[in-house]
Amino acid sequence: MNGYSGGCLCGHVRYQASGEGTNLCFCHCTSCRRAIGAPMVPWVTFAARSFTIVQGQLAEYRSSPGVSRGFCAACGTSMTYRRDDRSDEIDVTIASLDDPAALVPEAHIWVEDKLPWVAIADGRAQFARTAS
């Protein structure tokens, strides 16, 4: 079984996740870009039951109806995304993993929101909105 650990910039919040990471993607949606402050955000999805905060506590922000984003209240690092209608899953920012190179995004989603100066030329699948 795969195991992953990660946390925030200041080290206040630490987490562990186990099992298969799915939905490996770069999200270009306006909400993710604004929440993270980057032109796109790499995400991985884990079963919610396999994700545990092992140190500190995630602060949460209701960024839109049915969506909560988890971050460190001390340093601001964004780490999670949860949807009420997918309560059995949690999305985790790949860059917050201790070994972010361990999981490689396979697709770009919400490309219809992509910034005009971002060129996608990596050969990965592209979806106007979501992959499903």
pLDDT digit string (tens) for 67-99? 999 999 999 999 999 999 999 999 999 999 999
15, 42, 57, 95, 120 from 33: Cα distances, Å: 23, 11, 23, 14, 16
Give domain status of residue 110, yes or no.
Answer: yes
Pairing outcome for strands 41-47 and 89-93: antiparallel
Shortest CA distance to 89 belongs to which of 20, 28, 15, 31?
20
CA distance 114 to 29: 7
Q: What's the residue count for the chain?
A: 132
Q: Which residues, 6+ apart, have CB-to-CB distance to 72 below 8 Å? A: 8, 9, 10, 12, 13, 56, 58, 59, 79
Q: What is the pTM of this model?
A: 0.94
What CATH number did the domain enclosing 114 receive? 2.170.150.70
Report the number of distinct structural domains present in the chain. 1
Give domain status of residue 131, yes or no.
Answer: no
Q: What is the mean pLDDT of the chain?
A: 96
Give domain status of residue 132, yes or no.
Answer: no
pLDDT at 1 over 90: no
Structure tokens at 118: 């971002």
Task: Name the residue range of residue 104's domain.
Answer: 3-126
CA distance 87 to 84: 5
